[in-house]
């Protein structure tokens, strides 16, 4: 991982108050003593651009083979739309539920039979929000073997869960790596570092 990018991201999280400490309920239903909101990245063109380039470079370094990019609304869509443009690859996104009007698509965009799909998200904790997307891609004839995120908040249990579903989970950095970077650059104290690494 590009060291200058991770330091820039760490500084941004603190300066923008994207990293918050307190009591929060996560999308999975679990409670947490911290919250990271990567949606604020879109409001800072510099770190937004750096994040897209970091994702692009990681995809190319890993030599991932795919025909189409996929994501879920809303935060993942912000990053994946620009990444689709950057890589000149088609894009689909998978709704949690149909709109209830129009043609009631769950998959927006065109997924061809046997297309290799790379699913992108911003932060992954348990991966629960992606289960529905993976199932729909496969049930509509797509092939998915890789998922990529900016920040892996979950640990080995999350990696195992994806592996059991035939998915390799890629990421720019883990929460433990982020905690180390924040601490080494004197952006958080040891107490907060330990909170992040629980």
pLDDT tens digits for 133-163? 999 999 999 999 999 999 999 889 999 999 9
Phi, psi at residue 77, to the nearest 5°? -65, -35
pLDDT tens digits for 59-70? 999 999 999 999
Domain containing 98 — which CATH number?
Answer: 3.40.50.2020
pLDDT tens digits for 161-195? 999 999 999 999 999 999 999 999 999 999 999 99
Domain span at residue 90 reads 3-196
Quick one: angle between helices 3-15 and 45-62, nearest 10?
140
Mean pLDDT to the nearest integer, 25-51: 91
Number of structural domains (the chain) is 1
Give the pLDDT score at 101. 44
For residue 79, pLDDT over 80 is answered with: yes
């Amino acid at each position: 991982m590009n060291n200058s990018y991770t330091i820039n991201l760490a500084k941004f999280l603190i300066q923008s108050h994207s990293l918050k400490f307190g009591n929060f309920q996560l999308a999975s239903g679990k409670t947490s003593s911290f919250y990271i909101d990567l949606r604020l990245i879109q409001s800072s063109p510099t770190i937004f651009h750096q994040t897209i380039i970091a994702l692009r470079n990681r995809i190319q370094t890993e030599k991932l083979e795919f025909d189409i990019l996929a994501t879920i609304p809303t935060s993942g869509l912000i990053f994946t739309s620009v990444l689709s443009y950057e890589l000149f690859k088609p894009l689909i996104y998978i709704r949690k539920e149909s709109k209830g009007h129009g043609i009631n698509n769950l998959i927006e965009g065109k997924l061809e039979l046997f297309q290799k799909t790379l699913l992108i998200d911003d932060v992954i904790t348990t991966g629960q929000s992606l289960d529905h997307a993976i199932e729909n891609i496969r049930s509509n004839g797509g092939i998915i073997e890789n998922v990529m995120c900016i920040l892996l908040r979950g640990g080995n249990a999350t990696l195992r869960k994806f592996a059991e579903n035939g998915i390799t989970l890629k990421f720019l950095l883990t929460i433990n790596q982020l905690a180390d970077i924040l601490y080494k650059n004197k952006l958080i104290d040891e107490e907060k570092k330990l909170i992040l690494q629980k």
